Structure 1
């Protein structure tokens, strides 16, 4: 089906034309007509299949139908589990909705507290938010949720995984009753927990399930190397040097400590890289992602905080330096490459500590990952070691009972002591 067959408002169709979209993906073809008819939708589809465009197009059409509202309070709310996903949804909304005149505001922690607060006071049409900061503003009565006409919950399964379900339930109870709003729920899996949420807070949701022919994208070439933990970096460096033009490379590890160690080794060997982990301040995180998109950073070392919600074009390689401990995380990690019909490579290292999760990953994928034992020429053992961080010398504290002696203030040159006043 073509988008032109949906008879969308001209301003929405113009935004779709700007993006270059012509035909609907399966999840869009199933969910958009239901949403346009006013139905609640609970949709399952894998990452990278056009879920974001599906709910944004539906939201824009619904809000444009009724433009009589003069309230400054939001008319639609999109909930997402990560800050990166919030930013990505807003970017897609800016492109698809640029001709609609609807104001979209991201709300997430880590940056611009007063700026976001003021934006809500000034009035917005659509809020795209993570739960924590949104609840903070709601409790301060910066805005009200009583006029919300439509709600979208994106990556609902991830909401459970990240412990946001209590916050999400708090927000859902502050919204108008489900019969007075439209609700759309999108998830990679419609688990029992997700469907329980749908039954409690949705109005007889239409269930849409797009079963992929395979769990991972078609354009990904998988390869697995069995290698000892002590030789992993030598193999990584050898493989990176062997690739003629690796382009953008994302390397996944399981811990922040390992991410910093690996990034230090890459930098010591003249490979432009940075770390993306959960405790990186939001401004720095966004700066790193912008540098990665622009190409000044070619390698991004990330923990699983980056496996969802980051949509960067032309990521040619995803390297599982550590195999993930959760089999579903393998699919989310490698989903950063081969997006929108492109091709990419997923390279994984199975060391003696993490090889035990391989059977679960392969069972989930439905096929065995092609594996190789690396040859001598695949390694590069002549590499520079990362320089250890310099520690500041400890500050000596004065002994107990002794007061630190103050230095006498120096008079500026050319100035004499003022004469004492006479009686």
Structure 2
């Protein structure tokens, strides 16, 4: 039976109090399903859309384990959590500190972009939980500054993103270094595709598989539609108009390339809209400052690339704008998941040029529901809507041709003849010696 409130999950009273402080009474679907097997010491392979509480789904059993089995003397970290980005590492660590507020457990982070000396305390003092990005952690492991032998639980957060970013080999190396562990928890936004399955098979032992799929219900909390635009100029003017609407309280605007980030911030500034930005090449201090400005409501518009916004968790994002359409439906889901978090409602708006219509069709098929078009009179596009072919639907002509090919393939199989074979037909080659 699935738990309907946290007290049914046999959690320590100190953790229950911390959850109450945060205003959480009922576990989400992923928490209710993942916490019991994780607390039993089982390996867990979990998937749930972003914004559905999967961070607490792995933090609560980890904290409970540390409280159930306190160590007698200080030592190296017992719980190691790997994340794809620095921002996510900091957010996970912050959430762990909030949940451990009524305990004496110590939580630290190890990420790139931070001076080596700033991590010295992680090596010299007692730490119970360390949240890390793979690159910097591996550097410390190789220099024998980080002791993996005490790690009892290894947790991989947003494993699909880590694979996308090319960290598979790094994670397997860290997995080998923590081979004495008793438990591995792997969480991902999706379990689709062979890559994540093969990866999980190598790292986990007889895992409990949990696919908490409130994705359809979660998506209903996010209103989704698109506007057709003629070109970049038209698109920028429409975006500025939408950002100035009273219902647009706090927004993330997604672009594909970092060059476009700086262009767009400049265009918004010209229209009287202040925006901060995030892109992959930024130094850590600037990235932290940009997120802080959004969190503290000093700025209400953030322009970001996908790589910079991975794992970004800012409360009260009312709107997500796709200034550039994402190349995959999976990235689209990740983007819109920045709004409508923790049960709130949100809005996702895509600005679609003619060449984006194929992507629009792909996203509609993935969601099993096409995105609806909207028009604002003063920003009505001058160009015609693309044909069905461009919208991702095959035209009648193409369908008829496919039908013909299908019929023909049953009757006769066409054999491809190479030119080099055809030109020698009828000529018989003689061995060189014989010819002489």
TM-score by length of 2: 0.83
> 8 Å contact 2:294–2:301 — kept in the other structure?
yes
Once residues 240 and 272 of structure 1 are traced to their aligned partners in structure 2, the CA distance between those partners, rounded to angstroms, is 11
Q: 1:351 aligns with which of 350, 353, 378?
A: 353
Once residues 290 and 213 of structure 1 are traced to their aligned partners in structure 2, the CA distance between those partners, rounded to angstroms, is 29
Once residues 11 and 277 of structure 2 are traced to their aligned partners in structure 1, the CA distance between those partners, rounded to angstroms, is 42
Q: For residue 182 of structure 1, what is the aligned residue in structure 2?
A: 183
SS of alignment partner, residue 295 of structure 1: coil
> 8 Å contact 1:154–1:185 — kept in the other structure?
yes
> 8 Å contact 2:107–2:129 — kept in the other structure?
yes
Structure 1 portions without partners, runs of 5+: 380-423
Structure 2 portions without partners, runs of 5+: 382-436
Q: For residue 220 of structure 2, what is the aligned residue in structure 1?
A: 218
What is the deviation of 1:120?
A: 2.4
What is the deviation of 1:203?
A: 2.0
> 8 Å contact 1:155–1:188 — kept in the other structure?
yes
Once residues 259 and 156 of structure 2 are traced to their aligned partners in structure 1, the CA distance between those partners, rounded to angstroms, is 32
Once residues 201 and 53 of structure 2 are traced to their aligned partners in structure 1, the CA distance between those partners, rounded to angstroms, is 25
> 8 Å contact 2:48–2:215 — kept in the other structure?
no
CA 1:109–1:161 in structure 2 vs 1: closer, same or farther (change >3 Å)?
same
Q: For residue 211 of structure 2, what is the aligned residue in structure 1?
A: 209
Structure whose residues are more often helix by fraction: 2
Deviations 1:316-341, CA, capped at 9 Å, x for gaps: 11110111112111111111111112
SS of alignment partner, residue 336 of structure 1: coil
| Residues 41-190 of structure 1 mapped to structure 2, 5 A cutoff | 41-177=44-180, 180-190=181-191
How many pairs align?
A: 376
Q: 1:329 aligns with which of 300, 321, 331?
A: 331
| Residues 220-259 of structure 1 mapped to structure 2, 5 A cutoff | 220-229=222-231, 230-241=233-244, 243-259=245-261
Once residues 311 and 378 of structure 1 are traced to their aligned partners in structure 2, the CA distance between those partners, rounded to angstroms, is 34
Q: For residue 11 of structure 2, what is the aligned residue in structure 1?
A: 8
Once residues 92 and 215 of structure 2 are traced to their aligned partners in structure 1, the CA distance between those partners, rounded to angstroms, is 26
What is the deviation of 1:245?
A: 4.1
Once residues 162 and 288 of structure 1 are traced to their aligned partners in structure 2, the CA distance between those partners, rounded to angstroms, is 22
What is the deviation of 1:208?
A: 0.9
What is the deviation of 1:115?
A: 0.9
What is the deviation of 1:257?
A: 0.8
Once residues 316 and 83 of structure 2 are traced to their aligned partners in structure 1, the CA distance between those partners, rounded to angstroms, is 24
Once residues 90 and 118 of structure 1 are traced to their aligned partners in structure 2, the CA distance between those partners, rounded to angstroms, is 15
> 8 Å contact 2:227–2:375 — kept in the other structure?
yes
Deviations 1:24-52, CA, capped at 9 Å, x for gaps: 11111111110111111111111111110
SS of alignment partner, residue 217 of structure 1: helix
What is the deviation of 1:238?
A: 2.3
2:35 aligned with 1:32: yes
CA RMSD in angstroms, aligned pairs only: 1.7
2:263 aligned with 1:261: yes
Once residues 249 and 115 of structure 2 are traced to their aligned partners in structure 1, the CA distance between those partners, rounded to angstroms, is 33
> 8 Å contact 1:79–1:129 — kept in the other structure?
yes
> 8 Å contact 1:238–1:378 — kept in the other structure?
no
Once residues 39 and 151 of structure 2 are traced to their aligned partners in structure 1, the CA distance between those partners, rounded to angstroms, is 17
Q: Which 10-residue stretch deviates more, 247-256 or 2-11?
A: 2-11
Once residues 86 and 28 of structure 2 are traced to their aligned partners in structure 1, the CA distance between those partners, rounded to angstroms, is 26
Once residues 306 and 19 of structure 1 are traced to their aligned partners in structure 2, the CA distance between those partners, rounded to angstroms, is 27
Q: Which 10-residue stretch deviates more, 303-312 or 162-171?
A: 303-312
TM-score by length of 1: 0.85
What is the deviation of 1:269?
A: 2.0
SS of alignment partner, residue 214 of structure 1: helix
Q: For residue 300 of structure 2, what is the aligned residue in structure 1?
A: 298
SS of alignment partner, residue 353 of structure 1: helix
